[in-house]
Chains A and B, each alone.
Chain A
Amino acid sequence: MSSNSLTRRQVLTRGSLFGMAALAGPSFLAACTPGGSTSPTGAPTSLNGLWVPYDNLINASKASMKQWIGANVPVDIATVPWADWDRTIRAFPQQQTVPSIAIVDGPQLRGYAANGILKSLSDYFPKADLDDFLPGTVPPAQWKGEFYGPATNESSQAVVYNKDILDKHGITPPSSLDKAWTWPQFREIMLDIQKKERASRGDDQFWGMFLGQGNFIGGGTYTGLNIIRSSGKKGSKTFKAISDDGLSVAGYADTSEAYDAYQFLQDLYQSDQLTPQSKSPDFFYNNQIAFWLTNPDVAFSGIAEKAPSMNWGVTPHPYFVTPIVQTDSYHLGVPANAAHADEAAQLIQSMVSEENALILAETQKAIPVRRSLLGKLDYLKEANFQVFVDTVADWGTPRPLTPGYSEYDAVYAPMLSDISTGGDIATLVPRAVDQIDTQLARYKSLV
């Protein structure tokens, strides 16, 4: 036996040890994965950030971080798939290592705050800041008097239209909010255009409008709920959509006005066939749709990329009784168990300072989070963008404020989809209301 050979006993022992190491390896590696690196003195040598895979937002965020990074430490940004975003954030309290800073969805913030997932940033954002942030972005980020993170920008919704198609039919949509169409007016116009276009094209692959960003038939909670809420008077239960404590939709989502609006939504898809039963907004880029109810992010970047030569315009969001456009966007937050939480909070503070919030908005050509910046960005004064800005200023309203927004949205959006695809409204609405209230009841002890 050579000296390099192993005895059978050694083979067995080492083999078993190797096997044990193989089993323990993944856990060991997971434990060693850093959540930002630290120097021997305890000071960070870098911070880790968790973003969503949205290049516009990532590039703008990096641009707005430059100043802070120059004076402090680098920030490494990783992304999480959209489908795992909420789940990943919810799992923060059970993780040994979490990012120092994370992008969170505005409407979900209350839930994260209620569950102790995020750190309060009230100490870093005094009243002067909160007063300057656009109003649609602040209430969702507040929980029991504490502020949990500013928005990166603000969203808005309006109707984008194909100007060439409308010119052909002699339609000039309004561009000021006071002349906005009501839904019945809008419907009549769409029916007329659709009928004429289908006749001249000789097929049924032309529609009056596309509703939302394409995630859900029926527009989802973000877009579809605008239609329902607008059917109530300002301050009414229909307009509010959820109880003040955010724990019940019974008596809010099932009022008689809401039922009428659900029926209107269904008619748009079914009897009028004004909207395709498909999730692809490409119809608009392909000149198969006259109007598209969407937000500025999607409209500007989508048209620039997919239909750069399109001649297009923007008209205010239609309404029934009260004009309303649900708002809010991506926020910045610090996990409660993050290493270097103080540095992360200072980074966020810097990213939304007047100087950097301007960069944050300008880089992604978005509406800035600070109202003081509205007059400082030239692109906001372009006719198409102006409608979105006016809308936020006058009609902007947060989505339903509840710590259980994730659960609410998971039931409400499919309900709108089922209504749009022809389901029985009288069955779907009570079932969804019951299901939402059951889910929201789990938050009672936290409110």
Chain B
Amino acid sequence: MAATLELYFRWGHFLAGIMWIGLLYFFNFVQVPFLKSVTPEAKGEAFKHLVPRALFFFRYSALATWLFGFFILGVRGIVLEAFTLQGPAAVIGMGAWLGTIMLANVWLIIWPNQKKVLGLVAATPEEKPKAARMAFLASRTNTMLSIPMLFFMAASGHAPATFFGG
């Protein structure tokens, strides 16, 4: 039963995670350079019809990814060992910490600042570029953190037996 649950949670973790990190890479490698090079009219259209939809799937897939990951650790009974980096669970624990930092970046820095940029909350003309800069930096930070995070995810199940000292 626990193993079956774990399989479904892992499946959900992959689905949500691909959507989250896929959109993160889209923002960093495609959308940011795109918005820099288009006309103000096109930028306005993008902020009206493209960015809000992308950000919706981005922030909720981030939440779903973290929850599914937490549930996997839960059914395996290693939440505490993972987050305190004890024993073999330390490998996925490093990934879990990085993912947790990234989720916090999404909900506590990127989204509140993007709401100012999109005009969903009141912001003065001076506040808007600052908010855009903060959101950009947190987004870029998450892109960099995804590199070690994915390594620890991959290594937790598939590192050669000898890699971490057998």
A and B physically associate: no
Residues of B within 8 A of A (CB): none
